[in-house]
Amino acid sequence: MTTLTDRYVAEALRGIPEGQRRDIELELRSSIADAVEVRLRTGEDESRAEVEALAALGDPARLAAEYAGRPLHLIGPALYLSYTRLLKTLLTTAVPLVFLGASVVGFARGGPAGRALWEATGTALTVAMHVAFWVTLVFAAVQRAPSMRDRRPARWDPATLPELPARRIDRTSLIGGTSVATVLICLLVLVQLYGPVPVISPGLWESGWLYLAVVFAAVRIGFDLVGYYVGWGVPQAVAHAVMGLAFVVLGVWVTAGGALLNDAFLEAMGWPEGVVTWVVVIVVVLMAVNDSINGFVRARRRKA
């Protein structure tokens, strides 16, 4: 046989286990020869006949995959939904927290606030890409396990249906939460810059640490968006609570250390510093605890 068939057979045998190679090769060559012979009998030109016969057989890689029983997809229908659900859960919980953590670390190290945010974004994106890559790799590997060959999707249980509204937080909550966070931040900035007496101590303001508050607000809004567009369950509630905890820890540390509030402001208020500190600490803790509990309540609504 001429080299075209040889090339075809070589491609079609790729990845075929040793024990079957000889048998498949002989049969394939025989079938191609038969096809060519039939074409020659009908008067086709010899080189054309071979080309046409091979073209009719199609892409040898497909043939090899069929012979070896390899799937021609990365992740098939049986595993796909589990894959997307896991990916969504991991990305909506881990990535916001990583962003938060990286921001805190970046600010703590000092230096310009902009750079800390930039690096935090970079870290969050890297983590997101790693999560996506490794989850995909694991599922693709599982898809190729021998027992997955003819597996039908697992039986779906109606008990896992989420409660209505289908979006775990409704639009009013989303808009409300986002607005409150935005308004508070704007108020803070406005009072600081244009108010009679700045509330936050100038040292803290200038060092850019307050950008961290903006980061917290942004992550909080991010969680709300996740709850609206993607879905909200216990994993997301846990991540949300972790964020609340970080907020409390940082807020209390900064306030108790006397670094948060402006001395001029305290004088203007006329309250003793100890009292104001306690008030702020209690407010911060209550806010965070209320928020976290809300998160779990929302997640609970999912169960029947």
Partner 1 sequence: MIEDDVLATHRQEIRRGTIVLACLLILRHPGYGYALLETLESCGFAVDANTLYPLLRRLEKQGLLTAEWNTDESRPRKYYVTSPDGAELADILSRDWDELHTAFTKLRDDE
Residues forming contacts to partner 1 in the complex (CB under 8 A) are 23-24, 26-28, 30-31, 33-35, 38, 56-59, 62-63, 66-67, 69
Q: Least CB distance from residue 29 to partner 1, whole Å?
A: 9
From the CB of 31, what's the least distance to partner 1, in Å?
Answer: 4
Residue closer to partner 1, measured from CB, 30 or 84 = 30
CB of 23 to partner 1, least distance (A): 8
Give the angle subtended at the CA of 152 by the CAs of 147 and 153, to the nearest 5°.
110
Phi, psi of 200 (to 5 degrees): -85, 140
- Smallest gap from Cβ 57 to partner 1, in A, equals 5
The residue (of 33 and 289) whose beta carbon lies closer to partner 1 is 33
The least distance separating partner 1 from the CB of residue 36, rounded to whole angstroms, comes to 10
Q: Is 54 or 79 the residue whose CB approaches partner 1 more closely?
A: 54
* Residue 38 or 286 with smaller CB distance to partner 1: 38
Cβ(128)–Cβ(95) below 8 Å: yes
Using the minimum distance from each CB to partner 1, give the nearer residue, 11 or 263.
Answer: 11
Residue 243, judged by CB atoms within 10 A of its CB (0-12, 13-18, 19+), counts as buried
Q: Which residues, other chains included, contact 42 with Cβ-Cβ below 8 Å and sequence gap of 6+?
A: none
Q: Which is nearer to partner 1, 26 or 184 (CB)?
A: 26
Contacts of 255 (CB under 8 A, 6+ apart): 261, 277, 280, 281, 284
Instruction: Provide the minimum distance between the beta carbon of 75 and partner 1 in the complex, in angstroms, as a whole number.
Output: 22
Q: Which of residues 66 and 163 has its CB atom nearest to partner 1 in the complex?
A: 66
Tally Cβ neighbours within 10 Å of residue 104.
Answer: 19
Residue whose CB is less far from partner 1, 8 or 211: 8
Question: Minimal distance in Å, beta carbon 69 to partner 1?
Answer: 8
**Min dist. Cβ of residue 33 to partner 1 (A):** 6
